[in-house]
A = this chain, B = another copy of it.
Amino acid sequence: MYEGVVQDLIDELGRLPGVGPKSAQRIAFHLLQADPADVRRFAEVLLEVKEKVKFCSVCFNVAEDDQCRICRDPRRDPSVLCVVEEYKDVVAIERTREFRGRYHVLGGAISPIDGIGPDQLHIKELLSRLGDDAVTEVILATDPNLEGEATATYLTRMLSPLGLRITRLASGLPVGGDLEYADEVTLGRAFVGRQAAT
């Protein structure tokens, strides 16, 4: 329907997550009319990201050097290791400013349906870190969904012989939400995990 390269652009945009055919068209038309310098900068950032962004050799977090900012930071507590699925989970936890330890990014969660087993994740590297390092606590901060829970269960079984403290993030009602809108599982967990009022 569209002139060759415009259709190519719409196709490329349509491959991005959350961008449907209509949005892809709208974005393409926007870019057609945009300042060429702006579009060139966008294209350059895309190329740069794939060139510059590496993964930390220690924790597999996103890094611009061999090690990520957090692994290089001597003020971070080396005794607590927070295991997450993805880089974006690191960013989400950093935003809370509640955690001063280090991370280990698995690169996903165990999901037999998607063909992702323990071998596709950075679990071997986690085990060798626990052998070398002065880690005393491992926080399993996988997503609170089926795959995340399966991964945490698997890791708990793998790590318990090491004699470390292994913890999970608390489940319960989201702060600022309405009790009546919480799903049954969340509300159930909030009951099970109830704490003494202070």
Contact = CB atoms under 8 A, between A and B. Distances in A.
Interface of A: 1-6, 8-9, 12, 15-19, 23, 25-32, 36, 38-50, 52-53, 62-64, 68-69, 86-88, 91, 94-95
A62 B3 contact: yes
Contacts of A19: 19, 23, 27
Contacts of A64: 3-5
Contact of A39 (B3, B29, B46): B46
Nearest to A68: B3
A27 B197 CA distance: 42
A43 B39 CA distance: 9
Contact of A52 (B5, B42, B91): B5
What is the count of identical protomers in the complex? 2
A180 B56 CA distance: 59
B48 A88 contact: no
B88 A9 contact: no
Contacts of A88: 25, 29
A49 B9 contact: yes
A138 to B, nearest CB: 24
A31 B6 contact: no
A68 B42 CA distance: 27
